[in-house]
């Protein structure tokens, strides 16, 4: 399996200029590929990937309008063409149904004002030197903040500049799955907003609410930005301050999600979660809290780490009434408003905490589906 290892890099002032030029050239080649494909389609013809790369890179370098493409590594330009090919194929596969998941939109043109700029280089465009510096073709040796060693030689590296002006090197490395020793426990997880997660074993994970805690600081930063004159250097400097404040919130949320997901995967042999419609909830009146909770990122981490460490991860259908079923006797007690956090079963009289009861039901339903997949004669309780 392939994993990404991301490290902060510290280019010099000259290297930052060279990287900015590489970002711009890659962006122009990507846009030229999209434009040439659109023109060919409008004319009733189809361009192959090879012909498209020939026109957007090889022939473009010979024209006065694109002669400056020779100033950057050809690997960067070729990979920009590959990105354009892949985005177009993914779009066609999505609308035809060959690609799973939500329907993708048509590829859009890249802008110099995009918050994220990136280039990708394959093995013939970069090297990790003996002095632990990263050599990039036509850019030079860049200092890297190594936080850990790479398990294998990387097959490619993506250089990224984010909205806060930080530079990162993201390596793609082929690794073998590491199967952890078998654990005795299984757990079901009920995600929420007030409490981030309640586990079926009674464990409660409090929601850190990183955005809510930083809201006052962010509001002041945005107010200061709105007072700066457009196009001024003060506005550019304040924009960076706003981006860094948002980056600090995102980094803290990502780090916290990594730690919580790793702990859950290491301690449990099987993990069962509800298949929440995160994209739909993120467009509701709870959008701000849903985004702040980071459910989608947390679930994605659980899925990836379960596959990497040999754990079982099951999903329970989103329409399964986990909050309406008594986890003691299995009686269906009907829907309840969100304001009701504790309720008593009318059949057996057991008093339930709403979230803990839902987590227990998710565990039972997920385990039933898991055993069914293994050939056992077990079905959902409701």
Output the pLDDT for position 374: 57
Q: Which of 186, 274, 292, 333 is catalytic?
A: 274
Please indicate whether residue 355 is annotated as part of the active site: yes
Alpha helices in 61-203 (DSSP H): 74-96
Please indicate whether residue 274 is annotated as part of the active site: yes
How many other C-beta atoms can be found within 10 angstroms of the C-beta atom of residue 43? 9
Output the pLDDT for position 381: 46
- Counting beta carbons within 10 angstroms of the beta carbon of residue 318, is it exposed (0 to 12), middle (13 to 18) or buried (19 or more)? exposed
Q: Which of 32, 83, 355, 369 is catalytic?
A: 355
How close are the terminal C-alpha atoms of the chain, in Å? Answer: 37
pLDDT tens digits, one per residue of 295-333: 999 999 999 999 999 999 999 998 999 988 998 888 888
Who has greater pLDDT, 372 or 169?
Answer: 169
Output the pLDDT for position 226: 96
Q: Which of 215, 218, 217, 210 is nearest to 292 (CA)?
A: 210
Supply the pTM of this predicted model: 0.89
pLDDT tens digits, one per residue of 67-101: 999 999 999 999 999 999 999 999 999 999 898 88
Mean pLDDT of 58-70: 95
Check: CB of residue 265 under 8 Å from CB of residue 169: no
What's phi and psi for 344, nearest 5 deg? Answer: -115, 130
E strand segments, the chain = 2-10, 117-122, 126-128, 134-136, 140-145, 156-161, 167-174, 186-191, 195-199, 204-206, 270-274, 312-316, 342-344, 351-353
Output the pLDDT for position 35: 95
Q: Which of 83, 190, 292, 369 is catalytic?
A: 190
Output the pLDDT for position 293: 94
Share the mean pLDDT of the chain. Answer: 92
**Which residue matches tokens 């035809």?**
96
Please indicate whether residue 251 is annotated as part of the active site: no
How many other C-beta atoms can be found within 10 angstroms of the C-beta atom of residue 42? 8
Distance CA 334, CA 321 (A): 9
Check: CB of residue 28 under 8 Å from CB of residue 77: no
């Amino acid at each position: 399996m392939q994993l990404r290892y991301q490290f902060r890099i510290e280019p010099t002032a000259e290297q930052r200029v060279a990287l900015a030029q590489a970002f711009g050239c890659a962006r122009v080649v990507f846009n030229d590929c999209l434009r040439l494909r659109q023109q060919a389609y409008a004319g009733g013809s189809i361009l192959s990937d090879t012909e498209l790369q020939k026109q957007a890179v090889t022939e473009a370098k010979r024209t006065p309008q694109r002669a400056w493409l020779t100033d950057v590594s050809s690997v960067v330009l070729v990979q920009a063409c590959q990105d354009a090919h892949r985005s177009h194929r993914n779009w066609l596969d999505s609308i035809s149904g060959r690609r799973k998941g939500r329907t993708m939109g048509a590829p859009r043109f890249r802008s110099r004002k995009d918050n994220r700029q990136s280039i990708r280089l394959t093995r013939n465009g970069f090297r990790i030197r003996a002095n632990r510096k990263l050599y990039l073709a036509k850019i030079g040796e860049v200092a890297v903040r190594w936080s850990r060693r790479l398990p294998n030689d990387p097959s490619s590296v993506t250089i990224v500049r984010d909205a806060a002006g930080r530079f990162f090197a993201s390596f793609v490395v082929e690794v073998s799955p590491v199967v952890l020793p078998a654990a005795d426990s299984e757990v079901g997880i009920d995600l929420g907003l007030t409490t981030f997660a309640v586990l079926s074993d009674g464990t409660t994970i409090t929601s850190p609410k990183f955005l809510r805690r930083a809201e006052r600081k962010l509001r002041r930063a945005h107010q200061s930005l709105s007072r700066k004159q457009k196009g001024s250097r003060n506005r550019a400097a304040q924009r960076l301050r706003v981006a860094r404040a948002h980056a600090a919130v995102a980094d803290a949320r990502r780090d916290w999600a990594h730690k919580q997901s790793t702990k859950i995967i290491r301690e449990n042999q099987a993990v069962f979660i509800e298949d929440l419609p995160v994209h739909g909830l993120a467009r509701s009146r709870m959008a701000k809290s849903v985004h702040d909770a980071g459910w989608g990122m947390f679930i994605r981490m659980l899925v990836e780490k379960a596959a990497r460490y040999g754990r079982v991860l099951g999903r329970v259908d989103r329409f399964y009434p986990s909050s309406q079923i008594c986890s003691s006797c299995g009686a269906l007690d009907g829907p309840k408003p969100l304001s009701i956090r504790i309720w008593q079963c009318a059949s057996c009289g057991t008093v339930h905490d709403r979230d803990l009861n839902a987590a227990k039901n998710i565990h039972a339903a997920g385990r039933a589906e898991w055993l069914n997949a293994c050939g056992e004669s077990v079905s959902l309780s409701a």
